[in-house]
């Protein structure tokens, strides 16, 4: 899970040659551009977490699976694209023993997930300020500013801002409380653009 959180948070520097609206679909050979399939979380998370545990990136497989499933639930309509990231990392993540490095073969999936949540790929890892009981994270993604401001105590909540406007509040359920691209604000960001 650390690898995905690092990968998604780090973002990917890309040059956009064209802008398009609507739903982003990853067109893989043989799939003819069909919509991504919404797999069951257990079909995505168990293989991903098995690889993460084998690499030493995550110690507890059950905890990894729980966090993965919660992340899939948090991103709202972007769940199939985040699922594609987990699937790619399960298939290609074992090629590197460095938990902080993205397999180059997963770049398209990560970018598509970021575009779904943030409206554009994120070119920086973002900036987080964490203190006891509180965290605040900001990411710049293609000109859009995503910000989560969270009370991390028991029963805490996050205020989610997209380009400075509050788009909602949510209750953090994942280990990535302030993770703008996979935390509880992700689904609100995805629905706001």
CA distance 121 to 57: 25
Residue 63 has pLDDT above 60, yes or no: yes
Which one is predicted more confidently, 179 or 67?
67
Query: Do 119 and 20 form a contact (C-beta atoms < 8 A)?
Result: no
Query: Taking the model in full, what pTM does it have?
Result: 0.68
Name the helix (H) or strand (E) containing 74.
helix 61-74
pLDDT at residue 167 in the model: 94
For residues 171 and 159, the model is more confident at 159
| DSSP count for the chain of H helices, then E strands | 6, 5
Cβ atoms of 183 and 172 within 8 Å: the answer is: yes
Helix axes of 79-92 and 107-118: crossing angle, nearest 10 degrees? 160
Residue 17 has pLDDT above 50, yes or no: no
Average pLDDT of the segment spanning 171-183 = 71
Strongest mean pLDDT among 3-17, 24-38, 66-80 = 66-80
User: Where does the pLDDT of residue 80 fall: very low under 50, low under 70, confident under 90, or very high at 90 and above?
Assistant: very high
Say which residue, 32 or 20, is predicted with more confidence: 32
- Strand pairing category for 165-170 and 144-151: unpaired
- Enumerate the domain spans of the chain: 2-118, 127-191
Does residue 8 surpass a pLDDT of 50?
A: no
The label of the residue with tokens 């460095």 reads 98
Summarize the confidence of residues 23-41 as an average pLDDT.
Answer: 45
| Lowest-pLDDT range of 36-40, 65-69, 161-165 | 36-40
**pLDDT of residue 12 exceeding 70:** no
Which stretch of 10-19, 21-30, 69-78 has the lowest confidence by average pLDDT? 10-19
Question: Residue 88 and residue 66: Cα distance in Å, rounded?
Answer: 19
pLDDT of residue 109: 92
Q: If DSSP codes are grouped into helix, strand and coil, which group holds residue 55?
A: helix
At a CB cut-off of 8 Å and minimum separation 6, what does 106 contact? Answer: 7, 85, 88, 89, 92, 93
Strand spans (E) along the chain: 127-131, 134-141, 144-151, 158-162, 165-170
Give the whole-number percent of the chain exceeding pLDDT 90.
19
């Amino acid at each position: 899970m650390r690898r995905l959180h690092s990968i998604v948070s780090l973002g990917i520097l890309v040059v956009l040659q064209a802008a398009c609206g609507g739903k982003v679909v990853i067109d893989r050979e043989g799939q003819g551009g069909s919509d991504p399939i919404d797999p069951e979380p257990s079909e995505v998370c168990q293989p991903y977490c098995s690889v993460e545990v084998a690499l030493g990136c995550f110690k507890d497989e059950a905890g990894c699976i729980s966090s993965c499933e919660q992340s899939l639930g948090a991103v709202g309509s972007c769940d199939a694209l985040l699922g594609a990231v987990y699937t790619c990392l399960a298939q290609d993540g074992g090629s590197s023993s460095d938990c902080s490095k993205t397999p180059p073969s997963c770049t398209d999936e990560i970018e598509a997930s970021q575009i779904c949540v943030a409206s554009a790929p994120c070119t920086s890892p973002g900036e987080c300020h964490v203190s006891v009981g509180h965290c605040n994270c900001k990411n710049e993604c293609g000109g859009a500013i995503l910000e989560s401001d969270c009370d991390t105590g028991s029963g805490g909540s996050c205020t989610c801002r997209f380009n400075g406007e509050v788009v909602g509040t949510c209750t953090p359920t994942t280990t990535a409380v302030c993770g703008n691209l996979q935390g509880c604000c992700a689904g609100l960001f995805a629905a706001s653009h």
